[in-house]
Amino acid sequence: MGEICVIGVGYVGLVTGVCLADLGNRVVCLNRNKQKSDNLKKGILPIYEPGLEEIVRRNLAAGRLEFTTSYDEAMEEARFVFIAVGTPSGASGEADLAHVEAAVTEVARRIHQPVTIINKSTVPIGTGDWVADIVRENMPDASVPIWVVSNPEFLREGSAVYDFMNPDRIVLGSTSREAAERVAELYYPLRAEVIITDLRTAEMIKYASNAFLATKISFINEIANICEALGADVLEVARGMGTDHRIAPHFLGAGVGWGGSCFPKDVKALAHMAVTHGTNPSLLRAVMEINYDQRKRAVTKLRHILGGFRGKTVGILGLSFKPNTDDMRDAPSVEIIRLLQYEGAQVRAYDPVATENARRLLEDVTFCSDPYEVAEGADALILVTEWNEFKQLDMARIRDLMKQPVLIDGRNIYDPRRMRELGFVYRGMGRGYDETGQPR
């Protein structure tokens, strides 16, 4: 088995293990589910991530990549152990570290040679010290040296392989500079900037980064709402702002807001840490509140047009929290669909890859096999996820299939004028008024 062991085969663990194997390392990925492990050995992936399957198969064939459910096997030759298990939200918004604790305890019990434990999961500030304590308490021989390094992950689902291979920076935090440098060597082929800090600072860099990105989106959504009230177009505002190098164009897309496996739980966890340690995270609270309101706003726009949802059929285009992933964790679509159903709407929906995951979360939704089927007999459509395939639909056909052509563009992917020319009652997010004084 490999000298690199990765615990957890989700979006972060699988990508990390597979990409490290692709860089020439011998890697073993551990996960607790035998079916998942057996599938992975055949190159069948538990998640959808563009480009990943091919790299899995290539590295399986090269004999550099192995999958196991046995900690004994995984730890046999391990010198580097990456922890990449989930850290979901706990009851009060804190990060739940049960999976980290379980994984680290199992690892510690099998340490017989010097090991560097690298934490890739997003964990509260101070977790690195806690992990080191757990390891020392559970090691069979406490004289064997161990090191803990915090190595927060910044990859984006949907472009995870590219992001892993082309990172903006590698952050490594540790009480031991040598340990951090040993981990840096694993990343050497990527030629990325390496930032070495203490443990707590590295952990904080991850939370601060996610909170900032979420803030940027909530900021532009607040501006979008003001644009809408005052007649300005947020798309042009964002373009005008984003060309300023101090601001940058990314994360200035107004719409139904952020979701997913990271921003919601990480902003919540950071706010929770702040409160627990006696500071007042008023900005973070506003960022979360604005985000939640955006989901409701799309529904409110439609209610104004339809006059209510009882007896109405609403089609949803896109279910995953963003394009190019099947991840449904905290996806805006779920909230929007539940709000619509609560007010009596029948919902039809389509997503290119997330339907199976969505079925487990949503009841009484008719899942369709393409966007045109969603449109059939619908009183309105809401575009929730901006998959590329929605950008070039035959909108005249869509219009003809609908009972009435009402379109809420939750990601501003369509041209308002063209949609109106086609006969749609169209509303974007924050698009102000057109030259005739109509809301865009």
Ligand X SMILES: NC(=O)c1ccc[n+]([C@@H]2O[C@H](COP(=O)([O-])OP(=O)(O)OC[C@H]3O[C@@H](n4cnc5c(N)ncnc54)[C@H](O)[C@@H]3O)[C@@H](O)[C@H]2O)c1
Give the residue with the Cβ less far from ligand X, 51 or 308: 51
| Whether 105 contacts 123, CB under 8 Å | no
Query: Which tokens is 326 given?
Result: 């099947």
Give the residue with the Cβ less far from ligand X, 104 or 384: 104
- The structure tokens 């902003």 sit at 267
Query: What distance in Å separates the CA atoms of residue 79 and residue 111, rounded to the nearest whole number?
Result: 9
- State in angstroms the smallest separation of the CB of 213 from ligand X: 11
Query: What distance in Å separates the CA atoms of residue 327 and residue 312, rounded to the nearest whole number?
Result: 28
389: alpha, beta or left? (left if phi > 0; alpha if psi -120 to 50):
alpha
| Whether 413 contacts 391, CB under 8 Å | yes
- Could you tell me which of 245, 260, 254 has the C-alpha nearest to residue 219? 254
Give the residue with the Cβ less far from ligand X, 147 or 263: 263
DSSP 49: -
Give the residue with the Cβ less far from ligand X, 203 or 409: 203
**Is 262 an annotated catalytic residue?**
yes
- State in angstroms the smallest separation of the CB of 309 from ligand X: 33
Give the residue with the Cβ less far from ligand X, 100 or 368: 100
- State in angstroms the smallest separation of the CB of 233 from ligand X: 31
Give the residue with the Cβ less far from ligand X, 321 or 424: 321
Query: What distance in Å separates the CA atoms of residue 404 and residue 155, rounded to the nearest whole number?
Result: 41
Q: How many CB atoms lie within 10 A of CB 228?
A: 23
The bridge status of strand 80-83 relative to strand 169-174 is unpaired
Residue 415's identity, in one-letter code, is D
CB-based closest residue to ligand X: 10
- State in angstroms the smallest separation of the CB of 316 from ligand X: 23
DSSP letters of 286-330? HHHHHHHHHHHHHHHHHHHHHS--TT-EEEEE--SSSTT----TT
The active-site residue, picked from 5, 19, 227, 262, is 262
Q: 145: buried, middle or exposed (CB in 10 Å: 19+, 13-18, 0-12)?
A: exposed
- Using alpha carbons only, give the angle 330, 336, 341 rounded to the nearest 5 degrees: 125
The bridge status of strand 193-197 relative to strand 169-174 is parallel
Query: What distance in Å separates the CA atoms of residue 239 and residue 231, rounded to the nearest whole number?
Result: 16
Residue 322's identity, in one-letter code, is K
- State in angstroms the smallest separation of the CB of 53 from ligand X: 16
Give the residue with the Cβ less far from ligand X, 103 or 238: 103
- State in angstroms the smallest separation of the CB of 12 from ligand X: 4
Q: 245: buried, middle or exposed (CB in 10 Å: 19+, 13-18, 0-12)?
A: exposed
Query: Which tokens is 178 given?
Result: 């040598």
Give the residue with the Cβ less far from ligand X, 87 or 346: 87
Q: How many CB atoms lie within 10 A of CB 75?
A: 24
Sites of contact with ligand X (CB under 6 A): 7-13, 30-32, 84-87, 99, 102-103, 120-122, 153, 155, 157, 261-262
Q: Which helix (H) or strand (E) holds 196?
A: strand 193-197
Indicate which residues carry an active-site annotation: 262
